[in-house]
């Protein structure tokens, strides 16, 4: 194979993995509810009474009867149990039925928790057709300079459903020039190892691509460079389910030019948008 055909094959496998993850039992299309719990309450779509766990424990408290059929960490709940969140060493597993499961997530400082409900047979999964994407464009594989920042540097990232921006660590800046324009992008740790999360927007947003923007997950090299392969730009989770709260690209990460590389839209089986933006 030529280098281009090899790169195309790699990109096809990347898209195949993205499709498989989207329809997984706890994939992007399976999320049907995210509900923050600040007092004793019921959760839409699932049984039991949920409340904040006592101070110092983290996670949520669940009160249910055996007739509710809820399993936490493999055991049927009959009474009150504590459900560990995503910030615990061993987060709890929750099962409501053969197809419906749950996870507990923490906010940034673990001061509050939400229950996420996943349905392996959600409307989104049943209606899903594909994730459209641009053809490979090797000109959008960019080797940029990676410039570490001083300790304590941060960037403020606004989320769709938040009133105030969230402060994220900024380990470095990504600098490059293209077509006479200079760029200095801010990416924050993705939370899963060496990868960074670059939240960016461009002139295709709201047209050929999802309006909110897209993500890229580059890894800084040891030689002072970082590779940005925009062919592997992905749609944010909110393109798949309204129950996500996605970050919005900061001003410095907004390109005035179209980046016609990477994922475009989530489509239904008939080729229409899976849901309105």
pLDDT of residue 275: 80
Same domain for 75 and 198, yes or no, is no
Give domain status of residue 78, yes or no. Answer: yes
Asked if residue 134 has pLDDT above 50, the reply is yes
One domain, residues 200 and 172: yes
Percent of the chain with pLDDT strictly greater than 90: 94
Whether 15 is in a domain gets the answer no
Dist CA 96 CA 211 (whole Å): 34
Show which of 119, 143, 169 is a domain's final residue.
Answer: 119
Q: Are residues 70 and 107 in the same domain?
A: yes
Distance (Å, rounded) from C-alpha 85 to C-alpha 110?
9
Residue 77 falls inside a structural domain: yes
- pTM for the full predicted model: 0.93
List, in sequence order, the alpha helices (H) in the chain: 3-22, 123-127
Compute the average pLDDT of residues 172-190.
97
Same domain, 115 and 160: no
**Whether 104 and 142 share a structural domain:** no
Close Cβ partners of 242 (under 8 Å, ≥ 6 residues apart):
275
Compute the average pLDDT of residues 182-191.
Answer: 96
Count of structural domains within the chain: 2
In a domain, 6, yes or no: no
Q: Does any domain span residue 14?
A: no
Q: Identify whether residues 142 and 169 lie together within a single domain.
A: yes
Q: Is the pLDDT of residue 173 over 70?
A: yes
The answer to the question of residue 248 being in a domain is yes
> Whole domain around residue 146: which residue ranges?
129-268
Over the stretch 236-267, which tens digit does the pLDDT of each residue have?
999 999 999 999 999 999 999 999 999 999 99
**Domain match, 238 and 135 both:** yes
| Overall average pLDDT of the 26-48 stretch | 97
Residue 56: the pLDDT is: 83
- Token pair recorded at residue 196: 């960074």
Residues 171 and 258 in one domain: yes
User: Left, alpha or beta for 99 (phi > 0: left; psi -120 to 50: alpha)?
Assistant: alpha
Mean pLDDT confidence for 36-50: 97
Q: Do 141 and 86 fall into the same domain?
A: no
pLDDT at 2 over 70: no
Tell me what pLDDT residue 257 has: 98
Rounded Cα–Cα distance for residues 203 and 211 (Å): 10
Domain boundary among 119, 139, 170: 119
The arithmetic mean of pLDDT across residues 115-131, rounded, is 98
φ/ψ of residue 23, rounded to 5: -100, 10
Mean pLDDT of the chain, nearest integer: 96
Instruction: For residue range 47-93, list pLDDT tens digits in order.
Output: 999 999 998 889 999 999 999 999 999 999 999 999 999 999 999 99
Which of 83, 100, 119 is the endpoint of a domain?
119
Which residues, including other chains, have CB under 8 Å from residue 175's CB and lie 6 or more apart? 144, 145, 147, 182, 183, 184, 185
Q: What is the rounded average pLDDT of the residues 20-27? A: 98
Distances (CA, A) of 246 to 48, 230, 238, 257: 28, 19, 6, 22
Q: Rounded to whole angstroms, what are the CA distances from 244 to 76, 114, 240, 241, 262? A: 29, 12, 9, 6, 21
Shared-domain flag, residues 50 and 136: no
Per the CB < 8 A criterion, the answer to whether 124 and 274 are in contact is: yes
What pLDDT sits at residue 5?
84
Judge whether residue 98 has pLDDT over 80.
yes
Q: How far is CA 110 from CA 5, 24, 84, 201, 219, in A?
A: 46, 27, 11, 29, 27
Q: Per the domain annotation, does 3 fall within a domain?
A: no
Same domain (yes/no): 152, 72: no
Domain assignment present for 242:
yes
What is the structure's pLDDT at 1?
42
One domain, residues 133 and 110: no
pLDDT of residue 157: 97
């Amino acid at each position: 194979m030529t280098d281009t055909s090899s790169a195309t094959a790699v990109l096809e496998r990347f898209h195949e993995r993205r499709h498989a993850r989207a329809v997984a039992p706890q994939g992007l299309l399976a999320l049907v509810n995210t509900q923050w719990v600040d007092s004793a309450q019921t959760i839409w779509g699932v049984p039991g009474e949920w409340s904040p766990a006592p101070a110092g424990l983290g996670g949520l408290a669940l009160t249910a009867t055996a007739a509710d059929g809820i399993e936490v960490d493999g055991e049927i709940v009959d009474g009150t149990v504590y459900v560990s969140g995503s910030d615990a060493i061993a987060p709890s597993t929750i099962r409501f039925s053969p197809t419906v499961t749950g996870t507990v997530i923490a906010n940034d400082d673990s001061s509050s928790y939400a229950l996420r409900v996943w349905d392996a047979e959600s409307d989104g999964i049943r209606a899903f057709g594909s994730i459209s994407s641009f053809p490979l464009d090797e000109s959008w594989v960019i080797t940029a300079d990676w410039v570490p920042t001083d300790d304590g540097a941060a960037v403020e990232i606004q989320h769709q459903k938040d009133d105030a921006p969230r402060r994220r660590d900024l380990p470095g800046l990504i600098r490059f020039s293209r077509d006479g324009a200079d760029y200095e992008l801010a990416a924050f740790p993705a939370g899963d190892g060496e990868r960074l999360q670059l939240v960016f927007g461009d002139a295709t947003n709201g047209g050929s691509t999802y309006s909110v923007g897209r993500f890229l997950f580059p890894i800084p090299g040891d030689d002072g460079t970082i590779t940005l392969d925009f062919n592997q730009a992905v749609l944010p989770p909110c393109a798949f389910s309204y129950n996500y709260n996605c970050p919005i690209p900061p001003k410095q990460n907004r390109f005035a030019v179209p980046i016609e590389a990477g994922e475009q839209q989530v489509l239904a089986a008939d080729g229409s948008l899976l849901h309105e933006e």
